[in-house]
Structure 1
Amino acid sequence: MKANRRKTLFRNTGAQVGIGTLIIFIAMVLVAAVAAAVLIQTSGTLQQKAQSTGKQATQEVSSNLIVKNIEGVRAKNSATDMSSTIDLLKLKVGLNVGSHSVDVNQVVVSITDGTTANNLVYAGNHKSYANIGASDGEMDNFNSSNATTNLQTLLTQQTTAITTFNNCDHYFTVERIRDEDASFSQSNPVMNTGDLINVYIATTSSSATGYSLVSTIDTSAGLKNSGLNLVPRSVVNIILTPESGVVTNADFVTPSSYGVKEAVQLYP
């Protein structure tokens, strides 16, 4: 009996047709399209954020100022009549290899002698010491083209902004040394790779206010007191903080005696 059993295969060639099937198909296509659009938009946003973050991170680690050397200058009346303190610091500053451009107008220089600490901004900075909503924060009588005039103003004059204060304990000035592309100026102090500048920090003490010269700068109008007192064996710390990038430190101890030297090498 078992040998007589037969197996039969049924073939169903029918399929669903009609408006219902079409609606389901269109719905599936729309869902896939929406999902694809969301994925594309999300990936694009993430890519933009990644590029922006990468650019900022690169700038943070590559925008490095470097202090090549620091020289101290004593105020004087003559070659034999000089101040007992360092009254002006001249920092030779450049950029590390691979650095982005640095806007000196946004650099903050912090200096302390262990007793007094001054936070200095560029003399042409309009905002830092300005009245609220104003742009009157730059050093009074700031000269947009003459570095020597600005240094003299830094040492001998005051500025009236939020309050009236000595220029020497609120500002620093600069002078270009090397600027091959002519991009650096007093009004637009932007450093590019290869540029080299002098940064001037006034460190005039109360005992130096009666001297008439600092280097070749006429200070007969009267030196202003910076609050700093760089006598021999002073421990000095200088920090340069750019708008973006790592800070630069320069620490030194002044010599045990200045002797008869008008200019004293301090760093490195």
Structure 2
Amino acid sequence: MKANNTLYLKKNTKAQVGIGTLIIFIAMVLVAAVAAAVLIQTSGTLQQKAQSTGKQATQEVSSNLMVKTIEGVRAKNSATDMSSTIDLLKLKVGLNVGSSPVDVNQVVISITDGTTANNLVYAGNEKSYASTGQDNGDMDNFGSSASENLANLLVNSTTASSSFNNSDNYYTVEKIRDEDSSFSQGNPVMNTGDLITVYISTISDSAVSAGYSTLGTTNVSSGMKTSGLNLVPRTTVNIVLTPESGAATTSDFVAPSSYGVKETVQLYP
């Protein structure tokens, strides 16, 4: 008679112990700690970059400057003897709602009449036209008086990296509203609520040849300097204001078919 074979499973409740197991455990803890540190550092860096990029993107997509009106002024000798061209533009400029402060010293204005294009910098800008080894590239005789700076813009020239007319290289400004008294000729920073007048010379060759004595309220009997522009009736003019940060502001207008007997002509809007 054959005996029955019975199989029994051996129960072993003892865990494996030893230095090898301990080393593996410590290694796993160290790897996890290093991975966590890398993730925390990376997330912090990404957060800072995201905040910085978001702030810059907000500044770039917001149009800071806003041109409210543009008036044209004709040079004259008398009420019946006036230039056939617009020789000075007066842009009333403010800030859009929510805009950050704008340093006018860094704003570049481009203007074209379809034939000639001028890129203008602020008359107090000391860097744009400075030559090598020379600190000052602003308009010669630039000072704290807005009216004197305008007169220099219309009748004088500047020697910086080269000699050139002020009319086709610079523009000047004058404050209209500045509640906190923060805007000046030497520090032209616009804050919310500020309103300024930007003067752009558009003196034509024909106006220079005619020798007119007055342009607006400015005495130009010493002789105006040409800007190279020629704003006769029906001229299409494009003006672009490009700040240091933020979107550029564009203003286009077409001069009236006739200036008639008007010394000051409303051009925009």
Q: TM-score band (shorter)?
A: over 0.9
Kindly, what percent of the aligned residue pairs are identical? 77
2:42 counterpart of 1:34: no
**Contact 2:87 / 2:231 at 8 angstroms: preserved in 1?**
yes
For 1:227, the equivalent position in structure 2 comes to 228
One-letter amino acid of the structure 2 residue matched with residue 183 of structure 1? S
2:28 counterpart of 1:24: no
CA distance in 1, matches of 2:11, 2:174: 94
For 2:241, the equivalent position in structure 1 comes to 240
Matches within 5 A, 1:62-211: 62-132=62-132, 134-143=134-143, 145-209=144-208, 210-211=211-212
Deviations 1:73-112 (A, max 9, x none): 1111222221111110000011111112111111111111
One-letter amino acid of the structure 2 residue matched with residue 169 of structure 1? D
**Contact 1:127 / 1:134 at 8 angstroms: preserved in 2?**
no
Q: Which stretch of structure 1 is more off in the superposition, 215-224 or 15-24?
A: 15-24
Task: Give the root-mean-square deviation of aligned CA atoms.
Answer: 1.7
Normalised by the size of structure 2, how large is the TM-score? 0.93
Deviations 1:117-136 (A, max 9, x none): 10101111111111135432
Normalised by the size of structure 1, how large is the TM-score? 0.94
For 2:256, the equivalent position in structure 1 comes to 255
CA distance in 2, matches of 1:131, 1:14: 86
SS at match of 1:22: helix
Report deviation, 1:8.
4.9
SS at match of 1:168: coil
CA distance in 2, matches of 1:101, 1:127: 21
CA distance in 1, matches of 2:119, 2:101: 22
Report deviation, 1:140.
0.8
Report deviation, 1:10.
3.8
SS at match of 1:43: helix
Report deviation, 1:11.
3.1
Count of aligned residue pairs for this structure pair:
265
CA distance in 2, matches of 1:38, 1:17: 32
**Contact 1:146 / 1:186 at 8 angstroms: preserved in 2?**
yes
Structure 2, gaps ≥5 residues long:
none
Structure 1, gaps ≥5 residues long:
none
Report deviation, 1:223.
0.5
One-letter amino acid of the structure 1 residue matched with residue 46 of structure 2? L
Matches within 5 A, 1:4-19: 8=8, 10-19=10-19
Q: Do the aligned partners of residues 98 and 5 (structure 1) sit closer, same or farther apart at CA in structure 2, a change above 3 Å counting? A: farther
SS at match of 1:169: coil
Report deviation, 1:146.
1.1
SS at match of 2:198: strand
Q: Do the aligned partners of residues 254 and 63 (structure 1) sit closer, same or farther apart at CA in structure 2, a change above 3 Å counting? A: closer
CA distance in 2, matches of 1:25, 1:252: 77
For 1:60, the equivalent position in structure 2 comes to 60
Report deviation, 1:59.
0.3
Report deviation, 1:7.
7.1
